[in-house]
Amino acid sequence: MKLIFRFMKKYWYMALLASAFMIGEVYIDLLQPRMMAEIVNEGILGLSNGGKSDLNLVINTGIRMMLVVIGGGLCGLLSAVFTNITGQGAGNDIRKLCFERIMSFSFSQTDDFSTGSLITRITNDVTQVQHLIMQLIRGLVRCLMFFIGGSAALLSLDMSFGVIVACAFPLIIIDVTFVVWRTNPLFTVLQESLDRLNNIIQENVTGIRVVKAFVQEKNEVGRFDEANQHLVDTQFNVMMLLSYLRPVMNIVLNFAVAGIIYVGSNQVQKGAIAPGSVMAAITYISQILNGMMMLAMIFQTLSRGLASTKRLQEVIDTQSEIRQEQLPMEGDGTRGSVQFENVKFIYEDNGAEVLHDINLSITPGETLAVIGATGCGKTSLVSLIPRFYDAAEGHVYVDGVDVRAYDPAELRKKVTVCLQKAEFFSTTIRENIALGDPEANDDEIRKAAAAAQADGFILQQAEGYDTVVAERGMSLSGGQRQRIAIARALLKKGEILILDDVTSALDLKTEAALYAALNREYSDVTKIIIAQRIASVRNADRIVVLDGGTISDCGSHEELMDRSSVYRDIYHSQLKEEEAL
């Protein structure tokens, strides 16, 4: 509830107006039975006029009832408007805060929650909280008003009617308590089932080509059916429990109405109450018990909303692991230097040691290549520079400043990372490249694309740079996606450019032209190149050989061929592969 009140605070006046208009609507609903009783008792039966009917009173009171109903409808409309403004506004603020928090998460934190769960939380869970807020504003006020106001109005007609309320109320409380007690734990299970289903959908939609390539449609449909069935079963259990509410409430309501009629008829025979008042009493008892039924639904919404609130609170309370620390900011005056000092890196989720005893200095403008066997820690090494992860031990410096001393956003302005798997948005090629610098003009975009060897094929597209890219760039080949991603990285103009195996889909001629353009036009940028092929790294200023999570050797291609057995093994194995082809 703390989260709800925190975000409702901004809209307190809207919530207050919604409650005030709801009170007005309920007051008018409570007023109508009195007016109807007046029509019956005085207008039709003429109890105060010797049994003579009064048509004028019937017409006048009827007109007043119509005006009152219109006023009640207007109050209900305004209450609904202000309630929706409050609920939608608070939900919008919660959704934005959750998304901002997700954007600040480290990679490991995102993995801990899972993509499907985060999607469920920011959509379905926020919707449940919105429903809860609106129920609290409208439903709670309405049912309490009906119970308190209706009970007072009922007792004002005849105190003996209080016995009926006293008998019915405990039965309703028992019914509501039982249902809420049984359904409350199921709502968390329900949301977790939805998480699992969303994960499967997300995995299969993004990996549809792999599913089809390996003819796994049947298995994936089976996996989806299993998760979907679990969700359906959980929802069914919840709905079965909730289905007990209305029948029991209707039974209690009917017995209560019968009790009112019985008690009322006795009082009418005694002359203690008029027939019209008995009719009003029946309406009041119906309003009271319907208010209680509404309260039962509010408890159900409250249980589900609180489960969702807890899940959203987990996201909001999770602070990014990557935060600026109070460390000295005095650099060494360089622009684009990187230094690793006794660095050790461990993945926290499984405790696996990936890197250890890493000591390396990279000078400004240098082209440094990193090569090694698959899984030796190449990507993990460069991920420590922009602080996608933090070192478990040791220090990483950029321009002589510990990366933990930087504001993460400022650090990442200095460091540009281009990954092997290029991510694209469903917009034009121009806008996908301009993600590197949204303020860049057309000449700057084309210059970056030309250096990335992408300008030629882009101009051959139907709309050139204005060609719309399909979702995740699937309308482009792998090599085209990589070159556009490189153009986007170059446009950013960072001090340090990290290319993580981004030329794997390029032929050697295009790759050579790319590196020639980088050395010619971006000579002042420090370039760190991760690659699997010797041909991709042999012309680098230095080559780092990673083996077993540490630096085996470092030097030029010629030096490593002379003294590094690991490097020679890689070289000869690739040479044999090329000869075999």
Closest CA to 121 of 314, 255, 262, 345: 314
Q: What is the mean pLDDT of residues 277-290?
A: 80
- CB-CB neighbours of 566 under 10 Å: 18
Whole-number pLDDT of residue 398: 92
Prediction pTM value: 0.71
Whole-number pLDDT of residue 435: 86
Q: What is the mean pLDDT of residues 297-303?
A: 76
Is 91 a residue whose pLDDT tops 80?
A: yes
> How large is the angle between the packed helices 245-270 and 162-206, nearest 10 degrees?
160
Whole-number pLDDT of residue 7: 85
State the DSSP string of 299-335: HHHHHHHHHHHHHHHHHHH---S-----------S-S
> How large is the angle between the packed helices 217-243 and 162-206, nearest 10 degrees?
170
Whole-number pLDDT of residue 338: 93
CATH for 2-317? 1.20.1560.10
Q: What share of the chain is helix, strand, coil (3-state, %, to 5)?
A: 70, 10, 20
Closest CA to 299 of 242, 250, 344: 242
Q: Which of 102-106, 202-206, 487-491 has the lowest mean pLDDT?
A: 202-206
Is 555 a residue whose pLDDT tops 80?
A: yes
Domain residue ranges of the chain, discontinuous segments joined by +: 2-317, 338-580
Whole-angstrom distance, CA of residue 294 vs CA of residue 19: 16
Whole-number pLDDT of residue 341: 93
Q: What is the mean pLDDT of residues 562-576?
A: 83
Radius of gyration of the chain (CA): 36
Whole-number pLDDT of residue 527: 93
Q: Tell me if 111 sits within 8 A of 350, measured CB to CB.
A: no
Closest CA to 202 of 114, 96, 109: 114
Whole-angstrom distance, CA of residue 358 vs CA of residue 500: 19
Whole-angstrom distance, CA of residue 475 vs CA of residue 254: 65
User: pLDDT grade, residue 577 (50/70/90)?
Assistant: low
Is 226 a residue whose pLDDT tops 80?
A: yes
For residue 396, give the 3-state DSSP assignment: strand
Number of residues assigned to the chain: 581
Is 436 a residue whose pLDDT tops 90?
A: no
pLDDT tens, position by position, 319-364: 877 777 767 677 767 888 999 999 999 877 666 788 999 999 999 9
**φ, ψ for residue 237, nearest 5 deg:** -60, -40
Is 581 a residue whose pLDDT tops 50?
A: no
Query: Average model confidence (pLDDT) for the chain?
Result: 84
* Residue 210: alpha-carbon gap to chain centroid: 27
What is the layout of strands, in order, in the sheet containing 352-362? 352-362, 338-347, 393-398, 401-402
User: pLDDT grade, residue 575 (50/70/90)?
Assistant: low
Q: Which of 416-420, 440-444, 531-535 has the highest mean pLDDT?
A: 440-444
Whole-number pLDDT of residue 544: 92
Whole-number pLDDT of residue 473: 66
β-pairing, 496-500 vs 526-530, is: parallel
Q: Counting beta carbons within 10 angstroms of the beta carbon of residue 317, is it exposed (0 to 12), middle (13 to 18) or buried (19 or more)?
A: exposed
Q: Which of 68-72, 139-143, 467-471, 473-477 has the highest mean pLDDT?
A: 68-72
Structure tokens that stand for 556 in this block:
């030029």
Which residues, listed in sequence order, are joined to residue 367 by a DSSP beta bridge?
527
Whole-number pLDDT of residue 580: 46
Q: What is the mean pLDDT of residues 395-422?
A: 88
Whole-number pLDDT of residue 579: 46
Whole-angstrom distance, CA of residue 404 vs CA of residue 389: 11
pLDDT tens, position by position, 8-26: 888 888 999 998 998 888 8
pLDDT tens, position by position, 98-133: 998 888 887 777 878 878 888 888 888 898 899 889
Q: What is the mean pLDDT of residues 518-525?
A: 88
Given the candidates 3.40.50.300, 2.60.40.180, 2.30.29.30, 2.130.10.10, the CATH classification of the domain at 338-580 is 3.40.50.300
User: pLDDT grade, residue 147 (50/70/90)?
Assistant: confident
Q: What is the mean pLDDT of residues 179-205?
A: 81
Q: What residue spans of 125-161 are helical by DSSP H? A: 126-134, 140-157
Whole-number pLDDT of residue 50: 67
